[in-house]
Amino acid sequence: MMGYALLVLGLVLWSGSHWWKRLAPGSRQAAGDPGKGIVSLLSVAGIVAMVLGYRWAPVDPVWPVDGSLRHLNNALVLLAFYLFAASGMKTAATRYVRHPQLWGVRLWAIAHLLVNGDLASLILFGGLLVWAQVSVYLINRDAPYWDKPERPTVVGKEIAAVVGAVVVMGVVGMIHKWLGYNPFG
């Protein structure tokens, strides 16, 4: 039970810290620069609580898992990592995807829900999927018009984003194996 409580606490800390600016802009603005530290501290605390909660939660099956979806999971996670890289590097994808990092979180969460059918996974990945979806709504509510960025002229950024995504995927895969989860087969 402690694992589930930590998972929920982690999601609340993560979501609350990220939504503070959108849900209580006056309070966030009044906090000034120290508010950034508060957001960072609450975010890190949320991540720690989610990781520990997930590790400590019992494996309570909710739906059957189809192992053949592992390859789709890996493809979606690779695309999610690319979207994160694309966002930071301002590649061509940012002309077509308004919120590339939040799209990356959504794809990552969906991918993990495909291959994990237990309650802890539903809480963690489903909760982060909901967080990302609500975040998009809140951002779009506050800034409904999107000025698409100019088309990047440096092709090397695209190559670097793809290579970076593949490298991160490999590192994350090794970490998963080290933790006892083999995402590649």
Question: Which pLDDT band, with edges at 50, 70 and 90, does 180 fall under?
Answer: confident
What does R_g of the chain's alpha carbons equal in angstroms?
18
pLDDT of residue 45: 98
Residue 121 to residue 111: CA distance in whole angstroms: 11
pLDDT of residue 150: 81
30 pLDDT more than 80:
yes
Residue 151 to residue 19: CA distance in whole angstroms: 30
CB atoms within 10 A of CB 101: 17
Instruction: Compute the mean pLDDT over every residue in the chain, rounded to the nearest whole number.
Output: 94
pLDDT of residue 62: 96
